[in-house]
Amino acid sequence: MGLLDGRVAAVTGAGNGIGRGVALALAAAGAAVVVNDYGVGVDGRQPSRGPAEAVVGEIAARGGRAVASVESVATMAGGQAVIDAALAAFGDLHILVCCAGILRERMIFNMSEEEWDAVLAVHLKGHFAVMRPATRHMRERRYGRIVTFTSTAGLEGSPGQPNYSAAKAGIVGLTRSTALAMAKYGVTVNTISPEAETRMTERLPDTRRAQVAGAAAPPEAVAPVVVFLASDRAAHVTGQILHVRGDRVGVWSHPAPLRTAVRDGGWTPEALADVYDRVLGQDRLRRLDALRIPWPPAAGS
């Protein structure tokens, strides 16, 4: 007996990397799987049916059930088609995992509108495009498991990836909002922040890639966490950020106030400046230290 016997799952971005590992693991646990992948390169260009169909072949060769979906989740029609494929092929949908993503790296002062829009469309809109029809179905069935994918770039920032960081931060907000909306229907919604060697990490600058690779794992290592979240063993877990790094799984905190200052009669800029460092201070950006960026800058620099 597998943890997911009789379940139907749809996985976006399942033709390569983490998505491929997730699709294979869900099938191994007993789920029938819609393998969605637009078949593009990391930059989102040159679509192909090959990656999705190859993973379907792998699942079938191992005795599992799967169908390919090659629609782009950057459109609402494409997202709906992924869910429709599950219903047409297997008659239901219990699990949705959103792994699809592309990269267009550039510093913010050099980034074009097209580079911004393309990444937001695949990552953030791509989550919404499949989650909207999936949640409609799951609400009717009063059952469902949704697993989204964020990144430390979305949680902590990444200087050369403002579009990707913004999209991944948005996915956290979307996850929490959807978890609240779907709780009364028995649907869980969680997000994973992975560190694994994939096509995307190969494009990182050498210093950043070294930080990731030092504790990262093959993309398949993230899959057991997804299978757990997709199973009834995790029916009580929702609205969480799980960080998967190598052999470690961690739960990240939700934002909460650190310190508060109150002044009778309200604040003036001068009054706030007088007490800010002593009463409020800062929640330091951890990546300033990881990237060896001195802050505050030296006088005169």
* Pairwise CA distance, residues 77 & 56, whole Å: 22
* Pairwise CA distance, residues 263 & 32, whole Å: 59
Q: What are phi and psi of 113, to 5 degrees?
A: -60, -40
- Read off the tokens for 179: 């978890």
Q: What are phi and psi of 158, to 5 degrees?
A: -150, 115
Among candidate residues 143, 164, 185, 276, the one labeled active-site is 164
- Read off the tokens for 51: 């990656």
Active site residue 185: no
Contact status, residue 219 vs residue 197, Cβ threshold 8 Å: yes
* DSSP designation for 102: -
Sheet-wide strand order for 66-69: 66-69, 32-36, 8-12, 95-98, 144-149, 187-195, 241-245, 248-252
Q: What are phi and psi of 44, to 5 degrees?
A: 85, 15
Q: Which residues are designated catalytic?
A: 164
